[in-house]
Amino acid sequence: MNKFWIMLSHTYMTRLKTKSFLISTIITLVFIVGLANFQTIIEAFDDGEDKIAVIDESNELFETYKQSVEGVNEEMEIVAYDGTEEEGKAAVQEEDYKALIVLSTNESQLPEASYYANTISDSSNQQLLSQQLQQLKVAIATQQAGVDEAALADIYAPVTFETTALDEAAKSQEELSQARGIVYVMLFLLYMTVMMYGQMIAMEIANEKSSRVMEILVSSASPVTHMFAKIFGIALLGLTQVTLFVGVGYYFITTKQDELTGGFFEIFGIQDTSPSIYIFAIIFFILGYLLYATLAAMLGSLVSRVEDAQQMIMPMIFLILIAFFIAMFGIGMPDSTLVVVSSYIPFFTPMVMFLRVGMLDVPIWEIALSIGIMIATIILLAIIGARVYKGGVLMYGRSSSFKDLKKAMALSKKDK
């Protein structure tokens, strides 16, 4: 057991000190800090109010249009321009104004406009200005037709459409919104973690074989001890990194809670999620990592070159991608047959069953069954993987075929 901890700590410390790990950690932390301070950063680069010059050739539209636009966007200032159209264009080119709008009316006395700006890439401002002019046109046309504005407002008012679940155990719309945030975060976190650390395990083993370090390690400890030391060493490394990310993210969420109110946090309701979802997130995260990490270690032991490791673990990556895409589909249809069946397939269970747990009221026996299937699969994969690993670490030369599994199993029997 002492050898296991020595090898685990060696794997952990070696990877912890690598430049790639440090650089990726720093970049991710900078991204998290930037995301938490996104609003502050935007405001720092913001030029302030967008001044829009308006020439009203009708002499009737300006005041109504100004109130309409500024009522929707307080940062946009509508200014009456007294000069000619050419002078207004020159003022825009000199950046005295963000843009110039020339208002006029057509033969039906309905408003029209021409928009001039140095660039027309800012579609959001153009859309806002166009929408408000459209509303002004509707109001004028309604008045000309003698239609009561109050009646027209009632016609265009959004219809009331209340949703009520008849099943008392079903989650309400508010509860679904609260669960959706942690489901999204869990799916992406599990996807990225398995992709990154699974490949890291396979490449770590292949790298040691290519440098002949494996021969020394195998002579000092059993291959099985070495395999699980790698798996848990990389797991500890991942836990360190994820804890750091979550800790920094949680700090900024709590310290900037007032600034972060609304937007992502209001839509997904991360702060109001039930604690049971976090418990299941941890359970499925750990089981998912162990499943894929054991598979990655087994596949990595079959190759002796880092270049071949990527090709060998491609089937594992495809499994992760399929699980991820099914889970993304299930966000909108969590009770579909595809999602239900996939939630019992062990390689898909960590993502898909967690999705169902977060979005639906799944019976406890179904959750227990899926967890039991996963644990049984991990044990079976560990037994097979240990045998393959035991023979695989003794195989050298070019290898990128799954026919080598049989060869590795044969070598493990001879080594007994």
* Residue 39 falls inside a structural domain: no
| Residue range 149-174: mean pLDDT, rounded | 65
Same domain, 383 and 269: yes
Q: What's the confidence (pLDDT) of residue 263? A: 46
Token pair recorded at residue 375: 């644990």
* Residue 161 falls inside a structural domain: no
| Residue range 124-148: mean pLDDT, rounded | 81
Q: What's the confidence (pLDDT) of residue 264? A: 47
- Of the candidates 107, 129, 156, which is a domain's last residue? 156
Same domain, 102 and 235: no
Same domain, 231 and 318: yes
**What is the C-alpha separation between 33 and 46, in angstroms, rounded?**
19
pLDDT-derived band at 371 (thresholds 50, 70, 90) equals very high
| 103-115 exposure pattern, b = at least 16 Cβ within 10 A, e = fewer | bebeeeeebebee
Same domain, 24 and 70: no
CA nearest neighbour of 330 among 319, 320, 340: 340
Work out how many domains the chain is built from and give that number. Answer: 2
- Per-residue pLDDT of 67-107, as tens digits, reads 888 888 777 888 888 888 888 888 888 888 888 888 888 88
Same domain, 176 and 151: no
Owner of token pair 């390690």: 217
Q: What's the confidence (pLDDT) of residue 127? A: 86
| Residue range 328-341: mean pLDDT, rounded | 86
- Of 238 and 256, the structure prediction assigns the larger pLDDT to 238
Q: What's the confidence (pLDDT) of residue 175? A: 61
pLDDT-derived band at 375 (thresholds 50, 70, 90) equals very high
- Of 367 and 184, the structure prediction assigns the larger pLDDT to 367
Same domain, 149 and 247: no
Share of the chain above pLDDT 90, in %: 5
Owner of token pair 């309409």: 68
- Of the candidates 156, 187, 210, which is a domain's last residue? 156
Q: How much is the mean pLDDT over the chain?
A: 76
Domain containing 87 — which CATH number?
Answer: 3.40.190.10
Same domain, 234 and 113: no
Same domain, 303 and 384: yes
- Of the candidates 156, 187, 206, which is a domain's last residue? 156
The least confident of 114-128, 245-259, 308-322, 395-409 is: 395-409
Token pair recorded at residue 367: 């959750």
Is pLDDT above 80 for 54?
Answer: yes
Report the chain's C-alpha Rg in angstroms.
31
* Residue 124 falls inside a structural domain: yes
* Residue 42 falls inside a structural domain: no
* Residue 43 falls inside a structural domain: no
pLDDT-derived band at 145 (thresholds 50, 70, 90) equals confident
Same domain, 55 and 193: no
Same domain, 209 and 243: yes
pLDDT-derived band at 59 (thresholds 50, 70, 90) equals confident
Q: What's the confidence (pLDDT) of residue 391? A: 62
Domain that holds residue 272: 2-33+169-414
Same domain, 257 and 394: yes
- Per-residue pLDDT of 179-226, as tens digits, reads 677 777 778 878 888 778 877 887 777 676 655 555 555 556 666 777
Token pair recorded at residue 139: 């109001």
Contact 66, 136 (CB under 8 A): no
| Residue range 160-185: mean pLDDT, rounded | 64
- Per-residue pLDDT of 384-413, as tens digits, reads 777 776 665 555 555 555 566 566 555 555
- Per-residue pLDDT of 5-18, as tens digits, reads 877 887 788 888 88
- Of 148 and 14, the structure prediction assigns the larger pLDDT to 14
| Exposed / middle / buried, residue 299 (Cβ in 10 Å: 0-12, 13-18, 19+) | buried
The dihedral region occupied by 53, where left means phi > 0, alpha psi between -120 and 50, and beta the remainder, is: beta
Same domain, 86 and 209: no
* Residue 342 falls inside a structural domain: yes
* Neighbour tally for 354: CB within 10 Å: 27
Q: What's the confidence (pLDDT) of residue 268? A: 47
* Neighbour tally for 173: CB within 10 Å: 11
3-state secondary structure the chain: CHHHHHHHHHHHHHHHCCHHHHHHHHHHHHHHHHHHCHHHHHHHHCCCCEEEEEEECCCCCHHHHHHHHHHHCCCEEEEECCCCHHHHHHHHHCCCCCEEEEEEECCCCCEEEEEECCCCCCHHHHHHHHHHHHHHHHHHHHHHHCCCHHHHHHHHCCCCCCCCCCCCCCCCHHHHHHHHHHHHHHHHHHHHHHHHHHHHHHHHHHHHHHCCHHHHHHHHCCHHHHHHHHHHHHHHHHHHHHHHHHHHHHHHHHHCCCCCCCHHHHHHCHHHCCHHHHHHHHHHHHHHHHHHHHHHHHHHCCCCCHHHHHHHCHHHHHHHHHHHHHHHHHHHCCCCHHHHHHCCCCCCHHHHHHHHHHHCCCCHHHHHHHHHHHHHHHHHHHHHHHHHHHHHCCCCCCCCCCCHHHHHHHHHHHCC
